[in-house]
Amino acid sequence: MQEEKVQTQEAQGAQKSPEELLAEAQAKIEQQRDAMMRAVAESDNARKRAQAEAASAQKYAVERFAESLLPVLDSLEAALADTNDSPKPLREGVELTLRMLRSALQKANVAEINPKPGERFDPHRHQAMATVPSEAEPNSVVSVMQKGYALHDRIVRPALVTVAQPPVEKPAGNPISDADLD
């Protein structure tokens, strides 16, 4: 059965002239070249689209964050434009603005780093500004000078803290000498 198919194909091939075979081969080559050029063009277009989307995403990455800060800006401008010098409404307005700002930061996944006194000092989240003698456990936070902030897992600004010093041990003196007597 297979021999008959092979013989039939050979017979058809034998019936065609070399010029016809050459023309068919060239047409096939042209089709394959055209298909290859289309594939190259499609991949190039896909690469350019991806680059444009990445550039756009990078350029407008903070758009939502900026939109959430605009009401805060409006509130601060309104507070400055108010010519009424009463402190209570001004304070209430500033407190409202602060809540709006905290809400905007929370929506943008900006978390506050505010260690409590006695919390263990973490050099990845805190920056020691000073060490002070304290009854607290050594290398623990005594006070916070400035809060820190983190964006997702990345520290934007570490919390500035003072840290408890380890107790200073006095060197053992000469037991025979009277120099250490106070």
pLDDT tens per residue across span 95-132:
888 888 888 888 888 889 999 999 999 999 999 999 99
- How many other C-beta atoms are found inside a 10 Å radius of the C-beta of residue 142? 19
Angle in degrees, CA 163, 156, 79, rounded to 5: 100
Residue 39 is predicted with a pLDDT of 96
Structural domains of the chain, with CATH: 110-169 (2.30.22.10)
Q: Is the dihedral of CA 84, 86, 87, 90 positive or negative?
A: negative
Chain Cα centroid distance, residue 134:
37
Which H helix or E strand runs over 47?
helix 18-59
Strand partners, 162: 130, 143
pLDDT tens per residue across span 161-180:
999 988 766 666 666 666 65
- Average per-residue pLDDT in the chain? 84
Which of helix, strand or coil describes residue 17? coil
Residue 20 is predicted with a pLDDT of 92
